[in-house]
Amino acid sequence: MRALTLRLYEDRLPAGCLPVFLPALPRALYVAEGSLTVEGPDDGQWLATGTARVSQQPATLLAEDTDVRIWRWELDAATGTAGTALPSAPSTSTTLKLEADITLDPRFDWLMRCDEVGFPPGGVALTHVHQGPGIRICASGEIAIETQGQRHVHAPGEAWFELGPAPVLAPTTEAASTRFVRCFLLPRAVKGRSSIRYVRPEDADAPKVQTYRVFAERDIDLPA
């Protein structure tokens, strides 16, 4: 098994700040507020609020005339250390929201997916598993995660880790709709397919209220 660390950062780029340079790593970038352009060695992409990009190439972040808030997931070797700031970008600020040690089976080829899950008020994700681990962050509303004998409630801006094969029950608040954004690692055979599997047969056939929006998924090489 390959020992790795998945980290979620929140970056704040002030309007018009100088370009920010990021090294090559499997990475997902989601724009929570504002907009920016992301340049890679072979392409460029403009990201508006509520959109994302997945790549493992070096990236240059180009802010525009408004402040930008980004959620940035990075997969690194387990021996790597969490940075406290974006490289050579003193006008920006970075907060490490969550990090999790993970193990991936090297017999599989892997991909990174960034997507969004939404619920109406009082919606629930019935007891389920996924095909790989990942970190989620609540964007709006409130969600409870019940897994491995524990229950934690997450408000907007709060992140949590899901192992993947550990069953999860996830009810949401009845006071408002709920939405979370996630980045997780999946075998490449899951590309373009749902990764969710329901634990109880009766739940597999029950009506589902959650909605999904896949922003991006890319094949990745595991960090050495």
* pLDDT at res. 88: 81
Residue 80: pLDDT band (50, 70, 90) is: low
pTM, full prediction: 0.96
Residues 134 and 213 in one domain: yes
Of 79, 104, 129, which residue sits at a domain end? 104
**% of the chain beyond a pLDDT of 90:** 90
Residues 50 and 144 in one domain: no
**Antiparallel, parallel or unpaired: β 59-63 and 168-171:** unpaired
With 80 as the cut, is the pLDDT of residue 82 above it? no
Structural domain of residue 18, as residue ranges? 2-104
Beta carbons of 139 and 209 less than 8 angstroms apart: no
* pLDDT at res. 144: 98
Of 48, 73, 104, which residue sits at a domain end? 104
Domain count, the chain: 2
Per residue in 67-77, pLDDT (tens digit) is: 999 999 999 98
Residue 129's CATH number: 2.60.120.10
Per residue in 124-160, pLDDT (tens digit) is: 999 999 999 999 999 999 999 999 999 999 999 999 9
For residues 14-30, average pLDDT: 96
Of 104, 139, 158, which residue sits at a domain end? 104
Among 63-67, 104-108, 111-115, which range has the highest average pLDDT? 111-115
CB neighbours of 104 closer than 8 A, spacing ≥ 6?
A: 1, 2, 4, 110, 132, 133, 185, 222
